[in-house]
Amino acid sequence: MREGYRGNKEETRALKTYVKLMRAAESMTARTHRHLSSTGLTISQFAVLEALYQLGPPVAEGNREKNSQKQRQYYDGDRQPRKKRTG
């Protein structure tokens, strides 16, 4: 019979939680790969499309600072929810 980790209750609970989270992440990654492979996209390609959707199209020289600020906010996690498009 298999013996589990013999730590205190807090350590055991933390380890069990970590294992469950890792299994959930692996499951979601596998599902994402399966779905994207049916569309012909890789995870990296999808990530680029998602970034372009969130940041908008690349801009010309005159708007570089404004776009850089949006990118910093996006990557720092400070972005605001995207407004819905009408029409």
Indicate the number of domains in the chain.
2
Band (pLDDT 50/70/90 cuts) for residue 59 is: low
Q: Which whole-number Å values give the CA distances from 65 to 50, 62, 80, in the listed order? A: 21, 8, 18
Domain co-membership, 23 together with 52: no
Query: Burial of 79 by CB count in 10 Å (0-12 exposed, 13-18 middle, 19+ buried)?
Result: middle
Q: Which domain holds residue 15?
A: 1-40
pLDDT digits (tens, 9 = 90+) for 4-57: 777 888 998 999 999 999 999 999 999 998 999 999 998 889 888 888 888 877
Domain co-membership, 7 together with 34: yes
Residue 86 falls inside a structural domain: no
Phi and psi torsions of 63, nearest 5° = -105, 15
pLDDT digits (tens, 9 = 90+) for 10-22: 998 999 999 999 9
